[in-house]
A and B are shown apart, each in its own frame.
Chain A
Amino acid sequence: MELLEYAIVGGILYGIFFSLIGIGLNLIFGVMRIINLAHGQFIVLGGYLAFVLARDLHWNPLWALPLSIVAAAIIGWPLYYAVVPRLQASGDPEMLSFILFFGLGQAVEALTVLGFGTDQRSLPSDAMGSGNIGVLGQEFPDSWWVAAAVSLAAIGLLWLYFSRTKLGYATRAVMSNRDEALATGIDVHRVSALAFVAGLALAAIAGVFVPYLLGSVSPDLGGELTTTSFAIVIIGSLGNPLGTIIGGLVFGLGTMLMQTYYSSWSNVVPYALLLVIVLLRPQGLLAKAARNA
């Protein structure tokens, strides 16, 4: 029972954090129908931002959270206007953007290696509190709780944006039908660019906690994070931020249970979940995924 409780509490914390890992990908897909295959590499960049702040400036890594948003705006805004409108005008936006962002991810990964080397980097372990917080007698480091709290706050803010603001309504309109949104006079590009920046910012914010939750950050983590995010996003439902929480929890609990009972197989979890979901429940969980030829 001890083990089971550990796996469940840990799985929930881990899962909430992984909702944040996936949600940026979901947002960009939902609004632009673009799969940001460089998502994992942007998460890694967030991790390095925190690392540089902690190592060179001796700041608390939490300062990387607001800076992530600034950095995402600086990179994301020009990037959006450089590639996305052009892609959406092309014959096969979904596949072309998939390939383009794959190339972008490779370039970002190479630049990360050039900038920071291939070493695994970690953050000072006491920066987010050095103690443990226990629930049901199961203790987890403070950083895990901070990560889960920030994740919930970020997802909560996103939800408020969607349900309470005018721009959020416009974003949802673009999500449900881009052409009709355009016809009703919504500035689709402005809304999309904002969502694009928000997606990158959420990725970078998640990255700040990667050194704590995964032990360290290194440039080659990107590809794996992208695939995991994709799995989480489609377990939940595409385009629905709250669904991503369900996806994250399924992934978190699955991983923790596997790590507890069959640890050598735990790295199969995201890939197996992904395959099972896309093959067995394509219509229910991701109605837009399966097209009958």
Chain B
Amino acid sequence: MPELTPAATASPLRRARPAILVLAVLLAAFALLPHVYGNLSLLFTLMAFITLAQGLNLLYGFTGYLPFGYVGFFGCGAYAASLLVLHTGWPMLVCVGIGGVAAVAMALILGPLLRLSGAYFSIASLAASQILYFVVSNTNLADVTGGPYGLKIERVFSPTGSYYTMLAILLAATALAAWLRLSAFGMGLQAMKQDPVSAAMAGVPVVRMRLLAWLISAAVAGLCGAAYAWNISVFYPDAVFTLQISVFAIVFALFGGVGTVIGPIVGAVILYSLYSAIGISTPQYFQLIYGVLIVLLVLFLPGGVLSLFARRGIRVF
């Protein structure tokens, strides 16, 4: 509920202060952590999941459209960037950028899905991502996409390069969420999330804005997937198209609280830490925990854990 708090009427710089604070904390944390904690790939994956949770939040948190097939854009970015660097040998950063563009192009093709609503949209987007996966991994297309044998881009392998690229994408995704939180555009999205008809009457260009949010969200996932492919450099199609990625992004975002900037970050940090502690050796216990968590969240805390603070009158950014 975007109510007019004193902060909302203050000067632009004061309003942007929480955003700058969140970005500074993220930047400092992930720039310093590699110096004190040796497992760079774990930190990288954590950043990837915060980014994905934030990217999903850009769409679900602000428009109410929950894309179960969000991983489709992730895989799309991973494949576009990897195929491009294999065939052209362009600098990997350029290819990562084009990976994001490819995801946006895919989102445009899938744009008609936005005509659906609620659960229909969720399941239709899931179907679309599964089709992408089956096409990419099909043996008949092995000459083009590598089919089930995956792709190898180990000659551009760069753990540090991909790490800082992912950090930049994470900051960009967070800045976008902050922008949605503070701008008239974001306000319009939230208005039509609550009541599309009234929002349209009030002059909000509903269809165009929703499409824009969908494209932005897809771009984040595409860039994230491209950087992820760069980081692991050898991958099979199911590594970048597994529904687990969508599921984690959704669970992390919901756990923290969607529609806020720090919710997905908090959710991803807490749950991914739990996952790396118990989930890698015994994934079924982790699955059980988050399954039960979701049920409890929906029943008792639909706003995520951060809504506990909001209930006590603390304004969550």
A binding-site residues for B, Cβ under 8 Å = 35, 83, 86-87, 90, 92, 94-100, 102-111, 113-114, 223, 227, 230-231, 264-265, 267-268, 270-272, 274-275, 278-279, 282, 286, 289-293
User: In the complex, how many angstroms separate the beta carbon of A161 from the nearest chain B beta carbon?
Assistant: 26
User: In the complex, how many angstroms separate the beta carbon of B187 from the nearest chain A beta carbon?
Assistant: 17
**Stretch in contact with the other chain, from B38-46, B267-275, B292-300, B307-315:** B292-300
In the complex, the answer to whether B294 meets A99 with C-beta atoms within 8 Å is: yes
Chain A residues with CB under 8 Å of B284's CB are 110, 113-114
In the complex, the answer to whether B206 meets A293 with C-beta atoms within 8 Å is: yes
Q: Is B119 an interface position by the 8 A CB rule?
A: yes
B291 contact from A92, A96, A107, Cβ within 8 A: A107
In the complex, the answer to whether B131 meets A105 with C-beta atoms within 8 Å is: no
User: In the complex, how many angstroms separate the beta carbon of A31 from the nearest chain B beta carbon?
Assistant: 16
Q: Is B130 an interface position by the 8 A CB rule?
A: yes
The answer for the CA separation of A106 and B118 in the assembled complex, in Å, is 20
In the complex, the answer to whether A278 meets B116 with C-beta atoms within 8 Å is: yes
Most buried by A among B118, B197, B295, B299: B295
Chain B residues with CB under 8 Å of A113's CB are 284, 287
The 10 closest A-B pairs by CB, nearest first: A103-B294, A107-B291, A106-B291, A110-B288, A110-B287, A293-B196, A271-B127, A100-B298, A113-B284, A110-B284
In the complex, the answer to whether A100 meets B124 with C-beta atoms within 8 Å is: no
Q: Is B139 an interface position by the 8 A CB rule?
A: yes
The answer for the CA separation of A83 and B299 in the assembled complex, in Å, is 7
In the complex, the answer to whether A275 meets B124 with C-beta atoms within 8 Å is: yes
The answer for the CA separation of A267 and B302 in the assembled complex, in Å, is 35
User: In the complex, how many angstroms separate the beta carbon of A84 from the nearest chain B beta carbon?
Assistant: 11
The answer for the CA separation of A110 and B66 in the assembled complex, in Å, is 23
A100 contact from B206, B207, B285, B299, Cβ within 8 A: B299
Q: Is B157 an interface position by the 8 A CB rule?
A: no
The answer for the CA separation of A108 and B207 in the assembled complex, in Å, is 38
A95-B119, A107-B287, A108-B291 given. 17 additional CB < 8 A pairs? A97-B298, A98-B122, A99-B254, A103-B295, A104-B294, A106-B247, A231-B127, A267-B134, A270-B127, A271-B134, A275-B124, A275-B127, A275-B128, A279-B124, A286-B120, A290-B115, A293-B207
The answer for the CA separation of A110 and B297 in the assembled complex, in Å, is 18
The answer for the CA separation of A94 and B284 in the assembled complex, in Å, is 28
Total interface residues in chain B, CB < 8 Å: 48
B119 contact from A35, A264, A292, Cβ within 8 A: A35
In the complex, the answer to whether B124 meets A265 with C-beta atoms within 8 Å is: no
Known: A227-B127, A264-B138. A293 touches B288 (CB 8 A): no
Chain A residues with CB under 8 Å of B123's CB are 35, 227, 230, 274
The answer for the CA separation of A227 and B287 in the assembled complex, in Å, is 19
User: In the complex, how many angstroms separate the beta carbon of B233 from the nearest chain A beta carbon?
Assistant: 27
In the complex, the answer to whether A293 meets B117 with C-beta atoms within 8 Å is: yes
- Closest partner residue, chain A, to B299 (CB atom): A86
B295 contact from A94, A95, A100, A114, Cβ within 8 A: A100
Chain B residues with CB under 8 Å of A293's CB are 117, 192, 196-197, 200, 206-207, 210
Q: Is B91 an interface position by the 8 A CB rule?
A: no
Chain B residues with CB under 8 Å of A231's CB are 127
In the complex, the answer to whether B127 meets A94 with C-beta atoms within 8 Å is: no
Q: Is B12 an interface position by the 8 A CB rule?
A: no
Q: Is B100 an interface position by the 8 A CB rule?
A: no
Known: A94-B118, A282-B115, A293-B207. A264 touches B140 (CB 8 A): yes
10 example contacts (A-B, Cβ-Cβ < 8 A) are as follows A90-B302, A106-B291, A107-B295, A227-B123, A264-B139, A272-B127, A272-B131, A274-B123, A275-B131, A293-B200
In the complex, the answer to whether A278 meets B288 with C-beta atoms within 8 Å is: no
In the complex, the answer to whether A103 meets B127 with C-beta atoms within 8 Å is: no
Q: Is B290 an interface position by the 8 A CB rule?
A: yes
Q: Is B6 an interface position by the 8 A CB rule?
A: no
The answer for the CA separation of A44 and B135 in the assembled complex, in Å, is 27
Known: A86-B299, A264-B138. A289 touches B120 (CB 8 A): yes
In the complex, the answer to whether B116 meets A104 with C-beta atoms within 8 Å is: no
- Closest partner residue, chain B, to A94 (CB atom): B118
Chain B residues with CB under 8 Å of A99's CB are 66, 254, 294, 298
The answer for the CA separation of A279 and B121 in the assembled complex, in Å, is 10
Q: Is B2 an interface position by the 8 A CB rule?
A: no
The answer for the CA separation of A268 and B64 in the assembled complex, in Å, is 28
The answer for the CA separation of A293 and B118 in the assembled complex, in Å, is 12
Chain B residues with CB under 8 Å of A35's CB are 119, 123
User: In the complex, how many angstroms separate the beta carbon of A226 from the nearest chain B beta carbon?
Assistant: 9
- Closest partner residue, chain A, to B69 (CB atom): A271
The answer for the CA separation of A215 and B291 in the assembled complex, in Å, is 28
Q: Is B112 an interface position by the 8 A CB rule?
A: yes
The answer for the CA separation of A219 and B129 in the assembled complex, in Å, is 21
Chain A residues with CB under 8 Å of B64's CB are 92, 95
Q: Is B23 an interface position by the 8 A CB rule?
A: no
- Closest partner residue, chain A, to B210 (CB atom): A293
Q: Is B243 an interface position by the 8 A CB rule?
A: yes
In the complex, the answer to whether A100 meets B294 with C-beta atoms within 8 Å is: yes
Most buried by B among A87, A290, A291, A293: A293
